[in-house]
């Protein structure tokens, strides 16, 4: 794994799979999730289709730059958005997080990439498609939504688990992985695997402080509904029908707003990407990249 120094002063931890001579697929992970949430085998599966895969830690997460000490009351930001009052200042928004991804492409000398985002990562990818369309060969938004609070509402149970402070004790943190069943694929949730992943994430970088700033960034970035109809980047939207953290109407609304977007709803998929569904998800992403390349006159 390697770090990229961006002109903004942010450093991003990243790694790659496949040949850099192949078209690039950049993977953007979600709220508080490290790049390792994109399983290596998932990345290798994409690369096996002739793609150069890049994954990275978002700012305030994993091994990338952490904005230590920049305290923010995320609840106050959420209440301001819900109540329509003035927002308190925030350290950054999804605009800056999207610019981080573009900065990484610059660092790697990549002119255009297929960009795939999950959950908050999907919000970042939508922002990149709005603000940096010339750098995206295609966009894929997975289990995400548009910033309009009327769409993609979580169930109270899922929201409660998401916002509960993570326990600082390693064993308690690992045990809490069982709670993720509330939003995971009902058919495929494996508490043993979730516990293994939680242990690895804790050991790599336990950093709950970053969650408040990332959550504030999501809410402070507002509603993208007015901008998505002008998106020209070929867009694929993937959403699971079991998702209780971002309900399926969030994905449907995204696909409704982006001209020409393709919507794939997956039965038995929750707010996760379990291994039994990798072939379906990766197949859809690869087909989408081929279609976008053909539309640009690039041989498939």
Mean pLDDT for the stretch of residues 199-221: 97
Residue 290's Cα: distance from chain center in Å?
22
- Residues 114/269, Cβ–Cβ less than 8 Å: no
Give the span between the Cα atoms of 224 and 268, in whole angstroms: 28
Give pLDDT tens digits for 121-142: 999 999 999 999 999 999 999 9
| Residue 299 predicted with pLDDT over 90 | no
For residue 83, count CB atoms less than 10 angstroms from its CB and return exposed for 0-12, middle for 13-18, buried for 19 or more.
exposed
What's the pLDDT band for 1 if we cut at 50, 70, 90?
low
Residue 25 · residue 113 · CB < 8 Å: yes
Q: Hey, how many other C-beta atoms are within 10 angstroms of the C-beta on 108?
A: 17
- Kindly tell me the burial class for residue 7, based on how many C-beta atoms sit within 10 Å of its own C-beta (0-12, 13-18, 19 or more): exposed
Tell me the average pLDDT across 50-56.
Answer: 98
**For the segment 257-285, what is each residue's pLDDT rounded down to a tens digit?**
999 999 999 999 999 999 999 999 999 99
Instruction: Quick: pLDDT tens for 166-196.
Output: 999 999 999 999 999 999 999 999 999 999 9
User: How far apart, in whole angstroms, are the C-alpha atoms of residue 243 and residue 252?
Assistant: 13
Indicate the domain borders of the chain.
2-295
The pLDDT value recorded for residue 294 is: 86
pLDDT class of 298 with cuts at 50, 70, 90: low
pLDDT value, residue 18: 98
pLDDT higher than threshold 80 for residue 207: yes
Per-residue pLDDT tens over the stretch 111-122: 999 999 999 999
Of 299 and 217, the one with more pLDDT: 217
Beta bridge partners of 292: none
Residue 297 has pLDDT above 90, yes or no: no
pLDDT of residue 242: 97
Angle, CA of 269, 275 and 281, to the nearest 5°: 60
Contact 292, 138 (CB under 8 A): yes
The per-residue pLDDT of the chain, averaged, comes to 96
Has residue 151 got a pLDDT over 80?
Answer: yes
Task: Report the distance separating Cα 291 and Cα 300, nearest Å.
Answer: 8
- Which residue, among 293, 185, 19, 147, has the nearest Cα to 194 in the 3D structure? 185
Q: Which of 25, 47, 49 is nearest to 110 (CA)?
A: 25
> Is the pLDDT reported for residue 12 higher than 80?
yes
Q: With beta carbons less than 8 A apart as the criterion, state whether 102 and 26 touch.
A: no
Per-residue model confidence (pLDDT) at position 300: 46
Domain 2-295 in CATH 1.50.40.10? The answer is no
pLDDT band at residue 255 using 50, 70 and 90 as cut-offs: very high
């Amino acid at each position: 794994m390697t770090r990229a120094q961006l002109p903004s002063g942010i450093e991003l931890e990243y790694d790659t799979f496949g040949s850099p001579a192949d078209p690039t697929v950049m993977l953007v992970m979600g709220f508080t999730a490290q790049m390792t949430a994109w399983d290596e085998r998932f990345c290798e599966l994409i690369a096996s289709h002739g793609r150069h895969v890049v994954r990275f830690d978002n700012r305030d997460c994993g091994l990338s730059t952490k904005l230590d000490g920049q305290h923010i009351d995320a609840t106050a930001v959420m209440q301001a958005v819900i109540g329509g009052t003035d927002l308190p200042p925030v350290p950054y928004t999804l605009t800056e997080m999207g610019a981080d991804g573009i900065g990484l492409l610059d660092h790697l000398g990549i002119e255009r990439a297929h960009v795939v985002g999950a959950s908050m990562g999907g919000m970042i990818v939508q922002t990149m498609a709005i603000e940096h369309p010339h750098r995206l060969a295609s966009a894929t938004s997975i289990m995400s939504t548009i910033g309009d609070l009327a769409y993609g509402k979580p169930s109270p149970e899922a929201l409660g688990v998401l916002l509960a402070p993570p326990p600082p004790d390693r064993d308690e943190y690992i045990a809490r992985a069982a709670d993720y069943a509330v939003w995971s694929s009902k058919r495929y949730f494996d508490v043993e695997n979730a516990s293994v992943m939680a242990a690895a994430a804790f050991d790599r970088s336990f950093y709950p402080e970053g969650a408040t700033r990332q959550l504030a960034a999501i809410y402070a970035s507002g509603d993208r509904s007015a901008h998505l109809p002008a998106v020209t980047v070929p867009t694929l939207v993937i959403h699971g029908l079991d998702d209780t953290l971002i309900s399926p109407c969030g994905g449907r609304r995204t696909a409704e707003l982006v001209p020409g977007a393709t919507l794939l709803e997956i039965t038995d998929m929750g707010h996760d990407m379990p291994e039994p569904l990798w072939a379906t998800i990766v197949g859809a992403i690869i087909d989408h990249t081929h279609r976008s390349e053909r539309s640009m006159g690039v041989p498939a």
